[in-house]
Structure 1
């Protein structure tokens, strides 16, 4: 997929990847998805953010994650 909505400009937001040259970083979009699980509420707060922006931010972010095993603590209360 072409990530044509992800931009980077050294003179804007310290060169962090942004959405369409807006002052809205990819990292902020991911944070907003966690804060606003209801997309309608997210759209009300950030009307400039489009569905394609969100999709490309997720794809961009996932491309930086390695497939690796991370040891997590076992919660024996939830293990059946």
Structure 2
């Protein structure tokens, strides 16, 4: 799976905003967490369904 495959836009999910595939975690939320200073490891602890490739796909 490529990074682009991990990001989806669905009008019926999160208002059509880009999300991590099959999850209701918006790309913006991941970027906000990174901007706030959280590490990838901390984000993965807070969101156990995410994989490190999901976080990297948001960048």
Alignment TM class, shorter chain as reference: 0.7 to 0.9
Q: Which has the larger radius of gyration?
A: 1
SS at match of 1:41: helix
Give unpaired runs (5+ residues) of structure 2.
none
Instruction: Provide the TM-score with structure 2 as the length reference.
Output: 0.80
Q: C-alpha root-mean-square deviation of aligned residues, in Å? A: 1.7
Higher helix share: 2
CA distance in 2, matches of 1:26, 1:55: 10
- The runs of at least 4 consecutive aligned structure 1 residues that moved more than 4 Å come to none
Which one has more relative contact order, counting CA pairs under 8 Å at least 6 apart? 2
Instruction: Provide the TM-score with structure 1 as the length reference.
Output: 0.62
Q: How many residues align?
A: 58
Give unpaired runs (5+ residues) of structure 1.
59-80
CA distance in 1, matches of 2:11, 2:23: 13
